[in-house]
Structure 1
Amino acid sequence: MKEKKLSTKAVLIEIIMFLAYAFFAVNWISGSNLTPKILEVFNIKGPNAVSLINNVVTVAKILGNLIAATIFTKLYPKKSIALGAFLVPAGALLAALSPSFPIFLIGRFIMGFGGALFVVYFSPVVVNYFHADHRPVVNALNNVSYNVGSIMALLLLGPVMKIVGLGRYALVVFACVSFAIFIGWMIIGEDFAITETGDKDEKDFTLIDAFKEKIAILMPLMYFGHLTMYMVMLNIFPNTNFSPIPANLISTLFTTGALIGTLLSIFVAKKSKKRVPVLRVAGILTTAIMLALVNTTNATLASILALALGTIMYVPLTNFVLIPQEIPGMYSERLTQIMSVYWALVYIFETIAYQVIVNIQFRMGDKVALIATGILSGTFIIGSFLMKEPEEWAKK
């Protein structure tokens, strides 16, 4: 693919993509925070309802990831991205205004499905619109967009509820913002060549072809331990009580570190002559810091380790997503199928791993569960010894 200079069109497209996924997070997390109150309205109680919601969401993510590239091939970029951008607010609005629990579940499914589609489409957009010199920054922005949306949700939900008077109406407001972003994409977005030659009659690179790509299998096997640790730090750790400082403060420092790590990842990616060594070093440090954090009894050290954990964990991620993008001869259709397989498998592996950690916590306690999480994050270390540089993936 020929090099492309940074253009106003590319910048506008990235802004729309970033905002769309950030506000997916706003809609998603705000809805999750208000779910207990919504269930009260339906007079539904107990863990079974929450479990059902989680299962519906998991299916939406996996299904959306798996068929995202097929949709991309059939509808082409503009309509495919538009579909993801539309389903997020449509699902959010349906869930917010749902008259019954089944309709609420359908709304959450639609929103999760739209978000799953959207996350796959970041990579082909990056490859098409941005030169290699710009990709570290753009990939870092895409990686952090969900975190930015998470922070926005926490900051905006309360004030918006005060203005509109009801939690459901706050969700409607956020859905309307996402609808506005969807309209922005319909104005700014465009189609681009997705095949190697740009010929629409060229044979499709299918999902089955993607499953035959070793990198599409290696990447999720490598990353799912990292993702599981991220979910544990945000969802399980805040409810533990063995840390020398409040557990929710640990999680806040961890999230802050993730933002710092994203910024550092840009610098590291620009300076890296090789991609893999960064993954290896960061993987080893991440596991070591996690295990140290779980075992320390010093409050100051715990604070430092929590901040460092989030930082180091995010430092290699820009290099990580650059590897498939930089494989010589890579083109949008092939990349999108590879990322479809990657995200689908990551969510499958992470869902299983997270349930294992929950069971360990229930049977053996918080500390053992968190130590197991730290050990599980070692998948990134193992994978770093199997991962190859982009040019090596192109060799037959």
Structure 2
Amino acid sequence: MSDTKTSPAAQAVHPYADLSSARKILLVATTFCSYMLFAVAWNWGDMYVTSLGFSASRTAVMTNAITLAQVLGSLVAANIIVKLGTRNAYTLAGALIIFGGVVSLTQAFPLVFFIRFVMGLGGALMVVMGSAIAAKVLTGRDLQVANGINSVAFNTGLAVAMTFGVRVFGRPVLGVLIAASLSLILLVVWLVISKMILRPEAPQEVAKDTSYTMADGFKEWFNWVFALAYTGLLSYYIVAFTFMDPSTIRWVVYAGIVGALSGTIVSARVEDRVKPIVVVWCGLAQVIAAAGVLAMSGHRLEILIGVILGIVIFFPMPFFVQTAFIRPGVTPRQIAVTFSIFWAVSYGGSVFIIMIFAWIADATGGLIPGTNIPASVAPMIFIVVAEASFLIGTYFIWRWFKKQQIFEDEEIAA
């Protein structure tokens, strides 16, 4: 990684300006793999829940155990960083994810819900802190690349889980234990790497970090629209890998990795003023492709449409994430608060959307026996409509940037 867009003056004052490329790569790789394994644990945990034979509503409740935890974890993540420090807070997140492996020891509904909730809490803390760590250590193009790579961590984890899930499909307990064990290994790696790279936080730095609160963040228009735009898309994606045909969704996930990596490369080379409009056009393509997957169900072109869907969902993610970083004068603390609100609101909204999806599914025939696939098309139509929030929200963000004349002012100054 090379920080090509950071001026010499900025590098002189940045506390990590002398950090080598090798250590930057090591740090990004560690946070990437850690969150990737959270996705593996989530998916293989879903396999275990499915093996318990719950109804669509109860299966959705189990999924929402994680999404509810994401809401709580996201709301408190920024403050936990201040209380514990970056390194200890990220370590706590990793430990909570490992705790998810305990679910293999019980079949009781309340205990399964609690354990999944705790694991989800760890995932919520980890994703928010990953963004904060990147903003703290990296700048310029390095930061854009790191954000792009981390945006595909969850999708990569799903791809790994689906690819190797067939080997543990008949033994879901084994899958849960493997995921927890791998997360434990990555936690040890994090403890070593973070000690090598992250520097002790000075008291004055912590005091500065508390100057921008969650209350301040909730007052900002951008934070709300940024989060609500993602809510429908997140709900659609969670429903997709939980309640849709795995043979098709597998291709969506695989294509998503290609899309996100391509988006990362392109985003790092595209001017900031172009990024919001790229996201809007991809949002339109998402709605069309999502409807296409539904309309072409069972058709020989279904997989092709699924590949297109995966690409248009994840290609704009590096661009979308970067819109939070290109706001004038934004600080690492503001980034942490923005993403705390982002994940809290989007996961909170997805809880309601997924439960409505499940209620519609139960009211229109339930699930096809032996699967998590709804018997009726009605819930699928609902989730496609909900997915359109991404198009609507990103359109408003684009208009906001144009109204602020941020990029035009930068060009004049140049």
Question: Are residue 385 (structure 1) and residue 392 (structure 2) matched?
Answer: no
Matched residue of 1:271: which SS?
Answer: coil
Q: Is this contact kept in 1: 2:34–2:94, CA < 8 A? A: yes
Q: Is the 8 A contact 2:60 2:354 kept in 1?
A: no
Three-state SS of the structure 1 residue aligned to 2:268 is: helix
Match of residue 154, structure 2, among 146, 149, 165: 146
Q: 1:69 to 1:183 in 2, by over 3 A?
A: same
Match of 2:382 in 1: 372
Counterpart in 1 of 2:129? Answer: 121
Q: Provide the TM-score with structure 1 as the length reference.
A: 0.84
Q: Are 2:49 and 1:35 equivalent residues in the alignment? A: yes
Instruction: Classify the secondary structure of the residue corresponding to 1:299.
Output: coil
**Residue from 101, 112, 120 that aligns with 1:112:** 120
Look up the SS of the partner of 2:85 in the other structure.
helix
Whole-Å Cα distance in 1 between the matches of residues 201 and 324 of structure 2?
15
Residue equivalent to 2:251: 253
Question: How far 1:149 moved relative to its partner?
Answer: 1.7
1:73 equivalent in structure 2: 82
Paired with 1:15 and 1:22, the residues of 2 have a C-alpha distance of 10
Q: Is the 8 A contact 1:85 1:118 kept in 2?
A: yes
Specify the alignment match of 2:292 in structure 1.
292
Distance (whole Å) between structure 1 residues aligned to residue 386 and residue 133 of structure 2 = 32
| Residue in 2 that maps onto 1:171 | 176
SS in 1 for 2:37: helix
Alignment partners' CA distance in 1, 2:96 and 2:382: 37
Q: Cα RMSD (Å) of the superposition?
A: 3.1
Once the two structures are TM-superposed, the CA of residue 214 in structure 1 deviates from its matched residue by 1.5
Counterpart of 1:200 in 2: which secondary structure? helix
- Cα offsets for 1:209-241 (capped at 9, x unmatched): 111121110111111121122223323332xxx
Deviations 1:10-43 (A, max 9, x none): 2211111111111112222222212344x48xxx
- The AA in structure 1 aligned to 2:379 is A
Inter-partner Cα distance in structure 2 for 1:259 and 1:296 = 23
In 2, the alpha carbon distance for the partners of 1:33 and 1:298 equals: 24
Identity, % of aligned pairs? 22
In 2, the alpha carbon distance for the partners of 1:52 and 1:369 equals: 16
Unaligned runs of 5+ in 1: 239-247
Q: Answer yes or no: is the 8 Å Cα contact 1:27–1:175 preserved in 2.
A: yes
Indicate the residue corresponding to 1:245 in structure 2: none
Distance 1:394 1:112 in 2: 37
Paired with 1:53 and 1:84, the residues of 2 have a C-alpha distance of 20
1:201 to 203, 207, 220: 207
Which among 34, 53, 60 is matched to residue 20 of structure 1? 34
User: Is this contact kept in 1: 2:103–2:112, CA < 8 A?
Assistant: yes
Q: What amino acid maps onto 1:113 in structure 2?
A: L
State the alpha-carbon separation in 2 of the partners of residues 29 and 334 from structure 1.
Answer: 31
**Could you tell which deviates more after superposition, 17-26 or 294-303?**
294-303
Kept after mapping to 2: 8 A contact 1:18/1:145: yes
- 2:22 maps to what in 1? 8
Say if 1:65 and 1:117, in contact at 8 Å, map to a contact too: yes
Q: Secondary structure at the match of 2:150?
A: helix
Name the CA distance, whole Å, in 2 between partners of 1:352 and 1:221: 13
SS at match of 1:121: helix
Structure 2, unpaired ranges of 5+? 1-5, 12-16, 365-374, 408-414
Moved more, 186-195 or 253-262: 186-195
- Post-superposition CA distance 1:238-283 (Å, at most 9, x none): 2xxxxxxxxx433222222212211221233123222111011111
CA 1:284–1:204: 2 relative to 1, 3 Å: same
TM-score for the superposition, normalised by structure 2: 0.80
CA contact (8 A) 1:282 1:316 kept: yes
- The question of 1:85 aligning with 2:94 is answered yes
Q: Indicate how the Cα distance of structure 1 residues 313 and 94 shifts in structure 2: closer, same or farther if over 3 A, else same.
A: same
Bigger drift between 317-326 and 57-66 goes to 57-66
Aligned AA (2:146): V
For residues 274-326 of structure 1, the C-alpha deviation after alignment (integer angstroms, 9 at most, x for no partner) is: 21110111111111222233334893443322211111111111011111122
Please give the alpha-carbon distance, in whole angstroms, between the structure 2 residues aligned to 1:384 and 1:116: 23
Q: Distance in 2 between matches of 1:303 and 1:170?
A: 27
Letter in 2 for 1:10: K
